[in-house]
Amino acid sequence: MTAYTATVTVRLKRGVLDPEAETTQRALERLGFELADLRSADRFEIDLDADDADAAADRAGEMADRLLANPTVHDYDVAVEQRE
Amino acid sequence: MTAYTATVTVRLKRGVLDPEAETTQRALERLGFELADLRSADRFEIDLDADDADAAADRAGEMADRLLANPTVHDYDVAVEQRE
């Protein structure tokens, strides 16, 4: 088994309202910042042991499907790195 | 001016308790997943126009310092990409 860190980034699908991001953008604009758009995402960094990188990615994807992401409103992507 | 997307990732500093991550980890373990550790982070993808990549990174860093991150408990990093 090898030690990996799988990073799962969970975003709202395009077109789904993101009140948190809108509120954050308004607050930044009130502070005088200029920005065209702002999107927020949740990121989970998961340390796990697996036979190889694909197995680590598969397991992280299963975690996203079953808990971390709501398939109705979220998209997610998985990136895997070997851990020292 | 050039169009950039600055991605600000805000994490709790090492050693700061992360109840959200602990709750998520316990829930994954109850679903039968094996994992050594889980850390959560907030990610902000900001579309902005700037003279160059450094200027875009500086502005995103200022946004983090003033609103997106609490310097007492958070670390953050900024990554910049040119937008099509």
Here the CATH number for the domain that contains residue B25 is 3.30.1280.10
CB neighbours (10 Å) of residue A71? 10
Q: Can you give the residue range of the structural domain that contains A72?
A: 2-82
Q: Test A40 with B40 for CB contact under 8 angstroms.
A: no
Q: Given this model, what pLDDT does residue B84 score?
A: 77
pLDDT of residue B1: 87
Interface with B, mutate which of A4, A33, A66, A76 (most B CBs under 10 A) = A33
What's the structural domain count of chain A?
1
> Which residues partner with A42 through β-bridges?
A10, B42
**Residue range B20-57, pLDDT digits in tens:** 999 999 999 999 999 999 999 999 999 999 999 999 99
